[in-house]
Homo-oligomer: A and B are copies of this chain.
């Protein structure tokens, strides 16, 4: 039996391949799986880079590079944070908001496929254990 590291790497690879293939078909063909570290964790009203780093588990420097790329591609802009004018918020553009809507739909569809394959109760318990294991102790 494979260990949970190998299983996680496999599932992430399968998941990203399907998500980004279908996002490309929906008009988002310049996005790459690495951009998920920002896009999957971005709030609709914007998020600080430090929050994105914490939620994704990626280094601040990596997140900064990804924000640069997404800004260049027109998915996010950097704006002053109304709550703290010295801080910046990463805010989705119209293209960014469309990506978030499409991704939510595609991700739900991918998860429905998994749930059909193993049974909805087993899939729900799988996700519950997954969340318990990955929660910071």
Residues of A within 8 A of B (CB): 1-16, 19, 36-37, 40-41, 56-57, 107, 110-111, 114, 117-118, 122-123, 125-127, 129-134, 137
Query: Which one, B12, B19, B107, B130, contacts A126 given CB within 8 A?
Result: B130
Q: Classify the interface of chain A: helix, strand, loop or mixed.
A: helix
- Tell whether A14 pairs with B134 under 8 Å between CB atoms, given A36-B5, A57-B9, A123-B129: yes
Say how many copies of this protein the assembly contains: 2
- A35 to chain B minimum Cβ distance, whole angstroms, is 12
A57, A110, A134: residue with the most chain B Cβ atoms closer than 10 Å: A134
Given B5, B125, B132, which contacts A19 in the complex, CB threshold below 8 Å? Answer: B5
Q: How far is the CB of A56 from chain B (nearest CB, A)?
A: 7
Interface hub of A2, A9, A40, A56 (most chain B Cβ within 10 A)? A9
Cα-based distance from A46 to B5 in the complex (angstroms): 21
5 pairs, CB–CB < 8 Å, chain A vs chain B: A1-B131, A3-B111, A11-B134, A117-B137, A118-B133
